[in-house]
Structure 1
């Protein structure tokens, strides 16, 4: 094989990326690099849908619950560590699988991080004060006005991401999105994106079912254990924030669960918006037979070797 190939398995949450990653890894006798930022933290298991111990035993996985929520860990840290790991894995394998629900983290490995202007720390301090004083909605409204394009794809439940985008807008006087994908980093591997696709109603149905299963598996107890640390950035995410509201007697448990489902569906919609901009994804229907899936992916790899 002329090319070292990274197969990046992408798609909306709950569609079956873990299973597809394992299928491909077993076929190519290789390993999986997770690029799901929610699955990095060992204290968060049920609410992040980490692969089961049975799934992990089938294929070597990396970047699954390797950090604590108490450790700062940025997308830049992940890019650096993932590239170092890939250098090692590509010495043993021609193909490596990356499975990711976090588009920003996948793109960091494939393309490199974007070059942003320096930001005066006072801007960040002011935005954090605005968040405390006026709430998340005020940040959302300001981002919508300053950068409507990024507003469409940002994780609107993550104040850290909102503040990061706004501080760049304010410091530069330009939209945050104008700095994205400016400088492409040269990589020693070729990436093929493999996207899992399904009708929206199927994705939403799978999300609703997954949330019900998470609750049955003990998500509420997990949230109770994490509640004392609810201000940590890692916990500013769907599945936990809603249950923290319940634990503060601000809503019923039923309402919290419905909010998890609603916010996860919104998250899936934003994931698809992000992915649809990538015209190089090999989309595969979620019901496609395993052998057919392997055939389609193998053909893509063969096409690389036949390219001039």
Structure 2
């Protein structure tokens, strides 16, 4: 464990986790995340994308999105690959603009164009609004000429859950994307994993006691077992694409990944679980601060490249 990670975990336990525990209004979480990213980018420390990044706002069908790509003269994008990245934020916060630095690093490491849809957020737009928007964004890529096998789907936290909810939707139509990856995905809105209790004290960032409040914000009376928000309960079947899951052993959401991996393997998927020790939730978000985040992103890029290599055989 790097010294920076030790310091960050201490800071998160003393500052970030207590602040999340006290948030009683999802709009405050939204403003807090946006302010933190703005301050970090302003100082050029945490969230400023590399200078060679090109950013374009656009739409996929009716869904606003942000396209992020690196300059063709430095890291030219793959001509027939695209990444659909679904950002996190507990379904109530976050935006593609908050994630530009992470999207840029993914674009550079994978040499892909990255598209991040700005899906609707709860509580103004509760479930299933986010899922519907993600499906519409995917269909927008198909309308733009991409085949399912050319689309890499990724996401983190709530966005990771959306990635697998989308996969379940595509699986039911026998449509197989290139691959799917997720950082610390939220896949079970019933919060039934053992890690929800085992890691209450160990998780340096997420407060388990917020689960009922979060469920109220995002579900609006819908069943938490619905696979559109809890893909752990989706009926997956072959054929399925290669899957990469990255999570920490101390997260309260650890078992959201481990149980999903078991279910996907039982359905015939090739699943890689990259289990880290003592890292915080979605630590790749802090790639300019933590060496562990840089290495984690390199592993995801290698996964995508390995899938390409297998397809060429």
When normalised by structure 2's length, the TM-score is 0.38
Structure with more contact order per residue of length (Cα contacts < 8 Å, sep ≥ 6): 1
Structure with the bigger percentage of strand = 2
